[in-house]
Amino acid sequence: MTIVVGYVPTPEGEAALAQAIAEARKSNSRLLVINSSKGDALVDNRYAQEPEIQSIEDRLANQGIDHVIKQPVRGHDAALEVLDAAEEHHADLIVIGLRRRTPVGKLILGSTSQRILLEADCPVLAVKAG
């Protein structure tokens, strides 16, 4: 089995990662961590830097989870990157973190999670920050 998790260095992203690790251990699956950025701004705080990635790497290795960490910067939005990865690896589950956003905010800014929920071909597990 393969589980794809959309990771961002925020409480929501951490919650999603923790949940995904738990799922992966339960079903002994391969875990695919996706952290992407459009790469069009000089600074993107949702793109994890070297030390953060290293600590996730260590954490997954310590728990003995078969894992891949990908950080695509291709100008696509995060939803598309997660969906792409899920399709490419025939994922059985996608784990994402949900952020509280007002209906108006969602109308204007759209929602990454909504797009994943609507377009994914596999079950999606959505978690909230602790």
**Binding interface with another protein (CB under 8 A):** 37-45, 47, 49, 71, 73-75
Are the C-beta atoms of residues 92 and 2 closer than 8 Å to each other? yes
Q: In what order do the strands lie in the sheet with 30-34?
A: 67-70, 30-34, 2-6, 93-98, 124-128
Q: Shortest distance, CB of residue 42 to another protein, whole angstroms?
A: 5
Burial 44-53 (b: 16+ CB within 10 A, else e): eeebbeeeeb
Nearer to another protein, 38 or 101 (CB): 38
Q: Shortest distance, CB of residue 9 to another protein, whole angstroms?
A: 8
Nearer to another protein, 50 or 100 (CB): 50
Q: Shortest distance, CB of residue 51 to another protein, whole angstroms?
A: 10
Nearer to another protein, 43 or 104 (CB): 43
Exposed/middle/buried for 20, CB within 10 Å: 0-12, 13-18, 19+? buried
Q: Shortest distance, CB of residue 73 to another protein, whole angstroms?
A: 6
Nearer to another protein, 19 or 35 (CB): 35
- 98: number of CA atoms within 13 Å, CB side? 12
